[in-house]
Amino acid sequence: MKKMNCANLHGIGDLRYELAEFPSCGEDEVILQLKCCGICGSDLPRVFSKGTYHFPTVPGHEFAGTVFFDPKGELTGKGVAVFPLLPCFECESCKKEQYATCEGYDYYGSRRDGGMSEYLAVKRWNLLVMPEGLSYREGAMCEPVSVARHAVRKLGIRPGETLLISGAGPIGLIAGQWAKAMGGAQVFYFDIDARKVAFAKTLGFAEYSGGEEISCALEGTGCSEPLSKCLEALSPGGRMVLMGNPSGEVALSQNHYWHILRKELTLLGTWNSSFRPEENDWKESLAAMAEGRINVKPLVTHAYPLEQCGEAFEMMREKTEFYLKVMLTMNEEK
């Protein structure tokens, strides 16, 4: 039986670079030869504290590669990005093609094996052919670009409006690019890590000092203090989208709750991205990267070969270096 290399999580804190069985291919699948897989901030607790839904599991939900085998012979050799959510297609959300809120979804990299591997069987429905000239690193960034687009669209930014973003990580920085592309006048950031704000300024964004008029806010941390700061900053009639995944309880003081009421603020939640014919964040994201409207290349600060997956995760956990997006690379990159 043919073997392949992968990063396999056998238990909390037990990530192993090892050989695994080469994947089999169903009639509705193709076999990908993976090229790049991003390490998401959510992958750190999956590996070190929370675990995945079963063990062993190959992590990774931000990935791109080449179609190695297509039983229909249509996509072989094509470069593709992969929407990692597998809907049940039976619940009420799925009937409305609102797959992000599917009640019985599966997911590459947490509920089933994901992209930190040399090869992977992927459902044909989840594939997006990459535009010519787009690198596999950019293709692997399609997931955070799509998540950012989904969140920013909910804000309904109008030309000339200002946006405040809490959290200057990869998704926050991509969201700032989308805001500018959609007509926003200026994007301000604050972050507990001053180096991230400094990096944001190199991309043409600004640091929030407290005196600016803020039309919209995007809360990207899932923490109480940044949420409160965003509520304070918003002008009357402002809008905010909550995007950050909370790692614990999130609380508001009475005074900050009053900001919502007295300023008549609009608060919306966002989850994942849209992947349906009439609204597909993924197709729009691939096109925007190919056309240069969204530039993710500066955000990829580190790339490790797959065999150094342990070193990559340790660096991120211990924060021994400044990083934004860390990639694992497999096979040959184009």
Note whether 259 and 265 are within 8 A (CB): yes
CB within 8 Å of 56: residues ≥ 6 apart: 8, 9, 10
What is the rounded distance in angstroms from the CA atom of residue 187 to the CA atom of residue 28?
43
* Overall pTM > 0.85: yes
- What is the pLDDT, as a whole number, of residue 247? 85
Q: Which domains does the chain have, with CATH numbers?
A: 3-141+296-329 (3.90.180.10), 145-269 (3.40.50.720)
Q: How many CB atoms lie within 10 A of CB 271?
A: 12
pLDDT per residue as tens digits for the range 14-34: 999 999 999 999 999 999 999
List beta partners, residue 218.
Answer: 165, 241
CB within 8 Å of 282: residues ≥ 6 apart: 81, 83, 128, 142, 146, 273, 275
pLDDT block averages, 10 residues each, the chain of length 334: 94 98 96 98 96 96 98 96 98 96 97 98 98 97 98 96 98 98 96 98 97 96 97 98 94 97 98 94 98 98 98 98 98 59
What is the rounded distance in angstroms from the CA atom of residue 78 to the CA atom of residue 89?
26
